[in-house]
Structure 1
Amino acid sequence: MRLQSPWIPRLAEVEASVAERLVLALADDIIEGRLKGGDRLPAHRDLAWQLQIGLGTVTKAYAALERRGLVRSIKGRGMFVAICQAHEDRQIDLSSNVPPAMLTAGLLARTLTGIARKIDTDHLNLYSPPAGHLEHRRLLARWLEMLGIVVKPSHLALTSNARQAISLAFDIACGPEGVILTERITYPGAIALARRKGYRMRGVEIDAQGMLPQALADALDGFASSADKVVYLTPTLHNPTTATMGTARRQAIVDVCRRSGAWIIEDGVYALGPPLEPALVTLAPERVLHVNGLSKSIGPGLRIGMLTLPDGMNAAAQAILQDVPMTPSPLSCAVVEEWLSSGVIASIPQDLRHEARRRADLAASLFGAAGLVWHPDAFHVWLPMPRDAADRFATAAAAIGIKVTAPESVMVDHTDQAAGIRLCLGGPTFEDLTQGLMLLTKLECSNHSVQTLYPG
């Protein structure tokens, strides 16, 4: 006698095809541990009857889940959950800005089996060219096209991660007398890089859409005529504030930089699929160095960074990369090639977007809309508050076993009194995230209103 399935059939409440809604519902319950490894799933016909959907729809959904390694079919017995969840007591880490785990051992095993028959052994036997193998640059150019960015492979430099791509962009665009202008609250990795390399960094005022064009223009007017002018910014799902620029704002930023002769370094790593607004590199390809990577949109372990180069910058990039090689692992590139050809890589951002919305909705419901800055596609939220209050909040969170981003790490100017707390939602399980956020809502954190982030 066959065991009954413990799963209560449902469809995810999202705008998608019926098959996609079934995939998302099952994936949620498997990844969050509501279904355990070895649990039986309903038989195809039973599930179709219970949900009043077509048998072919169930078959399609189960096949998609099996490709991702979440379920496995056992001949003559049925379909079973393929992963086990390991829950243990640990500190809840809301400081690491990573997406939820969407890749499984089963998917990885099938991928490695596939690439073993295809990978070019020369990629492992010989040193890579400075900017990466041409076929790998062609491959990643295809990935960028999925994001609405068209670049010639010859104008693409590959690195082992997006932070290396930012580092390379800083070295290319910013000379010894240069200053990097950025949002006054920005990505802590970029701040740390600039300080380590000895580049001066200045903060520019922001509002709900990010960097203010007039504030940028005023800052650029203060440059010495001989200084290199570099603007680093994140126009889509800004880290840490989640601000996203509209088209008019993006064009205004580009216009300011064109008039002043400033280079733009655009950080585009947080976009989950083609954004509604054009990337800056599409508005000013002659002036923008676009940074991208796969760790935020696919998985943290897939360490590949990309930097698009305007005309005339290839030689400078080649010279730097010749001295300090940064090329990604050929195995990582082979994984991406396998997933592109199989269609796996196209489905992951969609699943991540669904999970981002679920987690952001949770944070918004617990903290309330008045004090929280958030975006449904972002895996982090921002609690703006004065610097002293932010420091007290971080200390109090640590005391109850919750790690949050240190307030000073996102601040260009450490004397700035308008600060806040970044809460990263992607790393913990949904259960741990819920517990952590509920504990944080009980902390005393006065004066954390949106107005403190956008003065004036």
Structure 2
Amino acid sequence: MLLRSPWTPRLASTGASAGERLARALADDIVEGRLAGGDRLPAQRDIAKALQIGLGTVTKAYAVLERRGLTRSVKGRGTFVAIDRSHSDRQIDLSTNAPPAALHTRFLARTLAAIARRVDADHFTLYAPPGGHLEHRRVLARWLETIGLAVDPAQLVLTSGARQALSVAFALVCGRAGLLLTERITYPGAIALARRAGYRMQGVEIDAEGMVPQALAQALHAAGPASARAVYLTPTLHNPTTATMPAARRQAIVDICRQAGAWIIEDGVYASALPGLPQLAALAPDIALHVNGLSKSLGPGLQIGVLALPAGLRDAAQALLQDLPMAPSALSCAVVDEWLATGAVATIQRDLRHEAQRRARLAATLLGTGALAWHPEAYNAWLAMPRDAADGVVAAAAAIGLKLTPPQAMMVHEDDSASGLRICLGGPRFDELTEALGHLAALLPRRA
């Protein structure tokens, strides 16, 4: 005997087709807990009769729900809710923009064995000088060459992660009374650093290619030359929108900043994914500070940040770091040296790109909307939407165990109505990501 379904057939009150309205009504009731895991859905003929719609329409709606992972069909028994509400104790993190796992135990063991034969004990028994040991700076200078940035090791500052390098850059060129101009929607970590330090911030308009040059020129002109001004931006795979500046726009940004007498702080943590594009610091080494790190390019366990400085800022950086040392782990630097010497860097990055592409295509397929901004080399996707709608999706996702970045964390101006969802794809296992994106698809507002 078949179980009776607890669901009363209805259509969602949207302007879409009958099949979409049916799928939306069922999805809402599943995600919001009105239908529990294992509950049976009504027979398709019963729904068609109750709602006076075609059987084929119901069949298509059921197929949509199964593709999204909300239901499962059992031959001879019917269709059942697939979400197990007990998963509410488990959380899938779509808020941390980490690369996919690409390092394996045996590979790391071989690396550590190779390092052990030629490790420099002084790097472990002596404090590092401000900015890091010269040998380690030489290693990171070689790393920067792989993205087309030639830098004298003496002009590098090494830190324990890119966010520390970014903090040093802000402190060097913003000052207490300075103005920081950045994309109106940008990297949450940069906004948090700037707010904590009390810098004045101003958002600049963005489009599909990143910061808009004309908008930046207008903002710099309006600000005037009275105070220190710095422009912080991510020209390659912008976090969170995935926008990438073409070469011509990069040159335009450099020209505008030079004419206005403004510093440039270039966030290059994703630059290794598209190494053919010119770095802003290569176009304007006298006014651009380049921030980079290895956690996004090789693995989160490599907490090494690097800041490439114009020559005029070297002494100021040394003074800043004298009382606040930030040198990275000597072991991490030795690992990078080994990988550069053996060519392993290229292999790791190839594996990362392959997995990033696989996950980006999955997101494009499961989220099923033309409004989704994604790039095959990026670790996140971006879905622009009004602030109130984004807040609603984040709250609904949290209720079913999906963690998303709060919209306000990415907004320079907290009252800005334009916002969206950053969907981080790299952290979860692939099967978890597939499950999470299926559930997230059911929460997204229906677009006309």
Corresponding letter in the other structure for 1:434: T
CA distance in 1, matches of 2:119, 2:313: 30
Report the Cα distance in structure 1 between the residues aligned to 2:195 and 2:282, rounded to whole angstroms.
30
Q: What is the CA–CA distance in structure 2 between the aligned matches of 1:146 and 1:224, rounded to whole Å?
A: 37
Give 1:175 deviation, angstroms: 1.9
Give SS of 1:163's match. helix
Matched AA of 2:300 = P
> C-alpha separation between the residues in 2 aligned to 1:337 and 1:205?
40
Q: Which moved more, 1:340-349 or 1:355-364?
A: 340-349
Using the TM superposition, give the Cα deviation of residue 401 of structure 1 relative to its aligned residue in structure 2, in angstroms.
0.9
- Distance, in Å, in 1 between the alignment partners of 2:262 and 2:420 is 29
* Deviation readout 1:133-170 (Å, 9 max, x if unpaired): 11100101001101111111011110110000000000
Give the letter aligned to residue 134 of structure 1. L
State the one-letter code of the partner of 1:400: I
- Write the distance in 2 (CA, Å) between the matches of 1:274 and 1:242: 12
Match of 1:166 in 2: 166
Match of 2:84 in 1: none
Report if aligned partners of 1:146, 1:273 keep a CA contact under 8 Å in 2: no
- Report deviation, 1:246: 0.8
Q: Which whole-Å CA distance do the structure 2 matches of 1:235 and 1:151 have between them?
A: 19
Q: Distance in 2 between matches of 1:359 and 1:336?
A: 26
Aligned partner of 2:116 in structure 1 is 116
Name the counterpart of 1:68: none
How much identity, in percent, do the aligned residues show? 64
- For residues 27-426 of structure 1, what are the structure 2 equivalents within 5 Å? 90-426=90-426
Aligned to 1:63: none
| Alignment coverage as a number of residue pairs | 360
Aligned partners of 1:182 and 1:204 also within 8 Å: yes
Q: Which amino acid aligns with 1:119?
A: V
Query: AA paired with 1:174?
Result: C
Deviation at 1:118, TM superposition (A): 1.1
Counterparts of 2:162 and 2:125, CA distance in 1: 25
Q: Which amino acid aligns with 1:116?
A: A
Q: CA deviation at 1:390?
A: 0.3
Per-residue deviation, 1:442: 0.7
Distance apart, 1:276 and its partner CA = 3.0
In structure 2, distance between residues paired with 1:110 and 1:117: 11
Question: How far has the Cα of 1:387 moved from its partner?
Answer: 0.3
Which position in structure 2 is the counterpart of 1:79? none
How far did residue 195 of structure 1 move?
A: 0.7
Which one is further off, 109-118 or 404-413? Answer: 109-118
Instruction: Give 1:90 shift.
Output: 3.3
Tell me the equivalent position of 1:53. Answer: none
The runs of 5 or more residues in structure 1 that have no matched partner are 1-88, 450-456
CA gap of 1:353–1:272, structure 2 versus 1, over 3 A, is farther
- Are the counterparts in 1 of residues 148 and 276 from structure 2 also a CA contact under 8 Å? no
Amino acid at match of 2:308: T
Q: CA deviation at 1:212?
A: 0.6
Q: CA separation in 2, counterparts of 1:340 and 1:410? A: 34
Q: Which of the two has higher C-alpha Rg?
A: 2
Quote the Cα distance in structure 2 between the aligned partners of 1:99 and 1:397.
22
Q: Which residue of 2 aligns with 1:33?
A: none
Task: Find the residue that maps to 1:151 and give its secondary structure.
Answer: coil
Query: C-alpha displacement at 1:444, in angstroms?
Result: 4.1
**Residue 30 (structure 2) aligns with:** none
RMSD over aligned CA atoms reads 1.3
Amino acid at match of 1:267: D
Tell me if the contact between 1:237 and 1:378 (Cα under 8 Å) persists in the aligned partners.
yes
Question: Secondary structure in 2 aligned to 1:182?
Answer: strand
- Partner-residue secondary structure (3-state), 1:97: coil
Alpha-carbon contact 1:389-1:446 (below 8 Å) kept: no
Q: CA deviation at 1:400?
A: 1.0
Q: Deviations over 1:224-270 (max 9, x none)?
A: 42300100000000000000001111111111101100000000001
Deviations 1:22-67 (A, max 9, x none): xxxxxxxxxxxxxxxxxxxxxxxxxxxxxxxxxxxxxxxxxxxxxx
Q: In 2, Cα distance between the equivalents of 1:384 and 1:446?
A: 13
What stretches of structure 2 of length at least 5 have no aligned partner?
A: 1-88
Displacement, 1:109?
A: 1.7
Tell me if the contact between 1:146 and 1:274 (Cα under 8 Å) persists in the aligned partners: no
CA displacement at 1:274 relative to structure 2: 4.7
Task: Tell me which amino acid in the other structure corresponds to 2:271.
Answer: A
Instruction: Please give the TM-score of this superposition, normalised by the length of structure 2.
Output: 0.79
Relative contact order, higher structure (CA 8 A, sep 6+): 2
CA distance in 2 between partners of 1:226 and 1:202 (Å): 16
Aligned-partner SS, 2:390: helix
Deviation at 1:446, TM superposition (A): 4.3
Q: Distance in 2 between matches of 1:91 and 1:369?
A: 25
Whole-Å Cα distance in 2 between the matches of residues 176 and 394 of structure 1?
34
The alignment partner of 2:376 has SS state of: coil
Do 2:205 and 2:215's aligned partners in 1 also have CA atoms closer than 8 Å? yes
The 1-side partners of 2:205 and 2:297 are apart by 28
Q: CA deviation at 1:273?
A: 4.2
The separation in 2 between residues aligned to 1:349 and 1:234, in whole angstroms, is 20
Other structure's SS at 2:291 match = strand
Return the offset for 1:369.
4.4
Q: Conserved in 1, the CA contact under 8 Å of 2:146 and 2:272?
A: no
* Between 156-165 and 344-353, the greater mean CA deviation after superposition: 344-353
Q: Is the 8 A contact 1:263 1:288 kept in 2?
A: yes
Shift in Å at residue 323 of structure 1?
1.2
Instruction: For 1:377 and 1:102, locate their aligned partners in 2 and report how far apart those are by CA, in whole Å.
Output: 14
List 4+ stretches of structure 1 deviating above 6 A: none
Q: CA deviation at 1:275?
A: 2.5
CA contact (8 A) 2:184 2:206 kept: yes
Looking at structure 1, the residues matched to 140 and 215 of structure 2 have their Cα atoms a distance apart, in angstroms, of 35
Question: Could you tell me which amino acid in structure 2 is paired with residue 401 of structure 1?
Answer: G
